[in-house]
Amino acid sequence: MHQLNEDIRDKELRLIGSGGEQLGIMSATDALRIADEKGLDLVKISPQAVPPVCKLMDYGKFRFEQGKREKEARRNQHVVEIKEIRMSPGIDVGDFNVKLKNALKFLADGNRVKVSVRFRGREMAHTDIGRKLLDKFAEQCAETANVDKGAKLEGRNMSMFLSPKK
């Protein structure tokens, strides 16, 4: 938070005008008098400097503009989500292509994708099929995605993570 008007108790400070021009080094009382004459606020913008730097400005307008800029920045940022695509080791070509198309769409939107293969029952004996499936998936996505974490078996699931190329 900035110090304003009477809260500024420094003996001397560097004053900057409302247009950004240097008004020199003066006492806090002189600076406050100039601010009152111009109908502006005296705002300490750099308290660490020697002497501290103060600026003449309309503080209410400054706060409003700052809030507007922050709102605009929040609106323009994109939150990266992790989308998951699940398959089974016995997936057929058509279904595989649909999953692949969805993954490419998620990657194009800038999201990370977790691709997992779920093993049930006797499928656990053939985890190599799942690994080949994930490798094939990564190979198909190679143009648009990087593999963050390779295929790894965790319990009954084998998964890998893809992230979009910049």
CA 31 vs CA 13, 15, 18, 24, 52: distances in Å: 8, 7, 12, 10, 12
Confirm if 117 and 132 have CB atoms less than 8 A apart: no
The pTM (predicted TM-score) of the whole model is 0.56
CATH (residue range 3-75): 3.10.20.80
Beta strands at 41-46 and 22-27: parallel, antiparallel or unpaired? unpaired
Domain spans, the chain: 3-75, 82-164
CATH second-level architecture of 82-164? 2-Layer Sandwich (3.30)
> For residue range 20-55, what is the model confidence (pLDDT) as tens digits?
899 889 988 898 989 899 999 989 988 888 889 999
> For residue range 70-123, what is the model confidence (pLDDT) as tens digits?
998 888 877 778 999 999 999 999 999 999 999 999 999 889 999 999 999 999
